[in-house]
Amino acid sequence: MYQHWDANLLVVMATALSVGIAVLVHYEGLSLLSRGLSRRHESHRRRKVLYGIFGVLILHVAEIWIFGTAIWGLLHLEHTGSIAGAHPLGLFDAVYMSAVTFTTVGFGDLAPVGPIRFLAGTLALTGFVLITWSASFTYLEMTRDWRDH
């Protein structure tokens, strides 16, 4: 596995790029969502909470797709690894693997083999951090709105 350092370096670079894009999407998305929620003067606080929750879910789905496309793209290159349980690996298989890894559900029917494991491990950590960031955001938005009323 380690005789192809160029493939390993490519996986590390794709991982760093995916993490960077996902974190920026999350930051900008939460910023936009926060501004949008603060401008809404809903008489029903529940509706604002629903807008916030659906907004956060949309962000997470976008981030899962960012990593899924990175996995899918890397697996088309030689020596970057494979996914046990999916032959051939389709785009939706890669997005599914991204989703179960992002949510830290873990590997079941699909599991990374080879250098791609670095991306999968980093994806789990990133997903955990972004999900907890969303939980904190949701809590702060709810308390701010509910305290104001």
pLDDT tier at 145, thresholds 50, 70, 90: low
Give this prediction's pTM.
0.89
pLDDT tier at 26, thresholds 50, 70, 90: very high
Q: From residue 104, how far is each of 121, 127, 128, 144 by CA, in Å? A: 10, 7, 7, 29
Q: Are 112 and 83 in contact (CB under 8 A)?
A: yes
**Which region among 1-5, 15-19, 59-63, 88-92 has the lowest average model confidence (pLDDT)?**
1-5
Of the candidates 148, 138, 139, 143, the one whose C-alpha atom is nearest the C-alpha of residue 29 is: 138
The CATH code for residues 5-148 is 1.10.287.70
Of the candidates 52, 59, 53, 54, the one whose C-alpha atom is nearest the C-alpha of residue 22 is: 59
Predicted confidence (pLDDT) at residue 30 exceeds the cutoff of 80: yes
